[in-house]
Structure 1
Amino acid sequence: MTKEQIIDAVKEMSVLELNELVKAIEEEFGVSAAAPVAAAGAAAGAEAEEEQTEFDVVLEDAGASKIKVVKAVREITGLGLKDAKELVDNAPGTIKEGVAKEEADQMKEQLEETGAKIELK
C-alpha cells in the first residue's frame, strides 16, 4: 500500500474512526500522539498574532438534552446516528475542523441552543 493510498483511506474516515485509528496506532507501537499535538498547539500559538480564519468546533459537554445534541451533531456533520451518538457520549470531542468563522459561530449557536457547551479553537 502506498503512502497516497493510506492518506486517501484516512480522508474517507469519520472523526470517530480517526480517533479509533489513533488509539490503535498508539497501542500497537507504544507511542502517544499527545506530544506532537502539544507541539502543534505551540506552533499555532506562535501564529496567533495573525487573525485566525479557520476554527475547530469542539463539543465540551452535551448537557442534559443529549438527544437534541445528537440530532444537531448529525445535521451539522452528516454522521450516522451511531457515530453522532458516540461523539456526543465521548465529549469532549471535535465536531468539525477547519471551519470558517461565520460557519463556526453558526454551528456553535445551533448546538448551544440544544444545551451543549461548545468551544471554538
Structure 2
Amino acid sequence: MIEKLAEQLVNLTVKQVNELVLLLKKEYGIEPSNIGLETSLDSGKEKKESFSDKEEKNIFNLILKSSGNSKLSVVKLVKEITGKGLKESKELVDHLPNVLKESLDKKEAENLKNKFEEIGAEVELK
C-alpha cells in the first residue's frame, strides 16, 4: 500500500503537486517544510549550523526577470508550474521581476530555469 502511494506521489504533475499542497494546507493545516528532512535527533549547535549551510546552498527561488520575445509561451509555462489561472499567470509575467517558485531543490530549479531559457525567457536562481 505504501509503495503504491509513493509511486502515485512520484508520478504527480507539477499542477497536481500544487493542488496537493493547497489541499494539505487548507484541510489539515500542513505546510511543506524542509526541516523534516533531518532524520537525526541530535540537536547540537554544530549539527544545526551544517544543516543550515547545506539548505542555503541547495534551496533556490525561481525569479522571472524577462519574458523575452515569446511572452505567450512564458505565460503558459508560468501557468503550468504555478498552478495559477491564465489571468494570474499573465499578471506575473506583466509585472517583472517576480518570484515564481520558492524553496526549490537545485535539480528542480535548474530544470525549470532551462525550460524558461529554451523559450527565450530570462530567469534567476537565488
Moved over 6 A (4+): none
Give the match's secondary structure for 2:102.
strand
The alpha-carbon deviation at position 53 of structure 1 amounts to: 1.6
Does the Cα contact within 8 Å between 1:73 and 1:111 map onto a contact in 2? no
TM-score by length of 1: 0.58
CA distance in 2, matches of 1:72, 1:118: 13
- The CA deviation string for residues 13-49 of structure 1, in whole angstroms up to 9 with x for no partner, is xxxxxxxxxxxxxxxxxxxxxxxxxxxxxxxxxx9x9
Query: In structure 1, what is the equivalent of residue 61 of structure 2?
Result: 56
The alpha-carbon deviation at position 50 of structure 1 amounts to: 2.9
CA distance in 2, matches of 1:111, 1:73: 9
Answering whether residue 63 of structure 2 is matched by residue 65 of structure 1, we say no
TM-score by length of 2: 0.56
Query: In structure 2, what is the equivalent of residue 117 of structure 1?
Result: 122
Give the match's secondary structure for 1:107.
helix
CA distance in 2, matches of 1:75, 1:112: 16
**What CA RMSD, in Å, does the superposition of the two structures yield over aligned residues?**
2.2
Unmatched segments (≥5 aa) in structure 2? 1-24, 27-49
The alpha-carbon deviation at position 81 of structure 1 amounts to: 0.1
Query: In structure 2, what is the equivalent of residue 107 of structure 1?
Result: 112
CA distance in 1, matches of 2:79, 2:95: 15
Larger Rg: 2
CA distance in 1, matches of 2:119, 2:77: 8
Give the match's secondary structure for 1:50.
helix
CA distance in 1, matches of 2:79, 2:117: 15
Count of aligned positions: 77
